[in-house]
């Protein structure tokens, strides 16, 4: 099955990339956009989803600084 793992900076952690993008938007005429946070998306194809949490905690995300969310895509 196909799995998406969304990895985001934890709340409260400074995200300078997000801030920079947020500051750039008004210059392009996009007003009213706030709280931009930039993370990562990892796509996986797995046969056994039971170890996904462990896999994310051990490698895909550093849980001291990042939160992850697993989305299992139906076939």
Partner 1 sequence: MRIGVVRFPGSCDEVDALDACAMVADAELLWHGRTDLDGVDAVVVPGGFSYGDYLRPGAIARFSPVMKAVADFAAEGGPVLGICNGFQVLCEAGLLPGALLTNSGLRFLCKQVDIIVERPGTPWTADCEAGERLSIPVKHMSGRWHADEATVAELEAEGRIVFRYAPGDNPNGSTSDVAGVCSAAGNVVGLMPHPEHAVDALTGSADGLKLFSSILNGGDRVGTAG
The reply on whether position 73 binds partner 1 by CB under 8 A is: no
Q: Which of 1, 2, 20, 71 binds partner 1 (CB under 8 A)?
A: 20
- With contact defined as beta carbons under 8 Å apart, do 37 and 69 qualify? no
Nearer to partner 1, 20 or 71 (CB): 20
- Note whether 4 binds partner 1 by CB under 8 A: no
Residue from 24, 26, 62, 71 that binds partner 1 (CB under 8 A)? 62
Closer by beta carbon to partner 1, 41 or else 74: 41
Q: Are 2 and 71 in contact (CB under 8 A)?
A: no
**Geometric angle at alpha carbon 56, from 6 and 47, rounded to 5°:** 95
User: Whats the size of the chain, residue-wise?
Assistant: 75
**Does 41 help bind partner 1 (rule: CB under 8 A)?**
no
Q: What is the DSSP letter of 49?
A: G
């Amino acid at each position: 099955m196909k799995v998406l793992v969304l990895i985001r900076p934890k709340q409260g952690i400074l995200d300078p990339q997000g801030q920079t993008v947020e500051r750039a938007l008004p210059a392009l005429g996009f007003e009213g956009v706030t709280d931009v946070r930039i993370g990562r998306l990892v796509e996986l194809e797995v046969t056994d989803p039971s170890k996904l949490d462990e896999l994310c905690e051990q490698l895909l995300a550093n849980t001291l600084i990042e939160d992850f969310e697993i989305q299992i895509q139906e076939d």
